[in-house]
Amino acid sequence: MAEKITMAEEYFRWLYQEVYSVWDVDSPDSYTVLCDHMDRIYFIPSIPNDDNRASDAIKLREEFCDSLSSRQQSWFTSQEWAELSNKTPTIFEVLVALARRAAFMIGKTPGEWFAEFVANLRLGGYTDEAYELRDSAKINRVLQKFNQRKYDSYGDGGIFPLKAPEEDQKKVELWYQMSAYMAENRMY
């Protein structure tokens, strides 16, 4: 008998499929381990209005729940839903939500945006195929640097590095960092 999948596991898979199409630990195109790292770290909205990015992540949960209802999948308990809905948003959720917003604004897919975030964080080489256990500490350091805004004033170390920022990117909400990144890279 197959083991029952939890709502949290199903939600993770749903999120992952929003930005990646390959789920295979032996593939150079699969990033489940990296995304799992992102999903274990709570997002810290330390700048005014970054709580909007956390709200976007919570809306993803609602969309996921609606997708379950539309597929008439009701094997999850109300306790599982409560646990998921009351959990603090993670970096993974926030980046997926932001990738979807960016895709709406600019003609790239959410997956292309998410891949760009991963590349800007210099985590693109951490595919499932290449991942080794010792990589965990480095990945966590990079994600904490982003999450705690310990990147440089140009945004290097974050998801929207700039060549010529008008202000210290550590003090700019993610939405405006994204807008400056799009403008500087002539994406409009």
Q: Model confidence over 161-181: pLDDT tens digits?
A: 999 999 999 999 999 999 999
**Residue 1 within a domain:** no
Q: Is residue 134 part of a domain?
A: yes
Average pLDDT, the chain: 91
Close Cβ partners of 122 (under 8 Å, ≥ 6 residues apart): 142
Q: What is the pLDDT of residue 4?
A: 75
**37 occurs within a structural domain:** yes
Please give the pLDDT value at position 73. 56
| Percent of the chain surpassing pLDDT 70 | 94
Q: Residue 104 sits in which domain range?
A: 7-184
In a domain, 2, yes or no: no
User: By C-alpha distance, which of 130, 158, 155 is closest to 144?
Assistant: 158
pLDDT digit string, tens, across residues 58-117: 999 989 988 877 665 556 777 887 888 889 999 999 999 999 999 999 889 999 999 999
pLDDT the model gives residue 83: 83
pLDDT band at 54 (very low <50, low <70, confident <90, very high): very high
pLDDT at 17 over 80: yes
What's the structural domain count of the chain?
Answer: 1
**Which residues are paired to 42 by β-bridges?**
90
Residue bearing the bigger pLDDT, 156 or 78: 156
47 falls within a domain: yes
Secondary structure (DSSP) of 121-163: TT-TT--TTT--TTHHHHHHHHHHHHHTT-S-TT-BTBSS--S
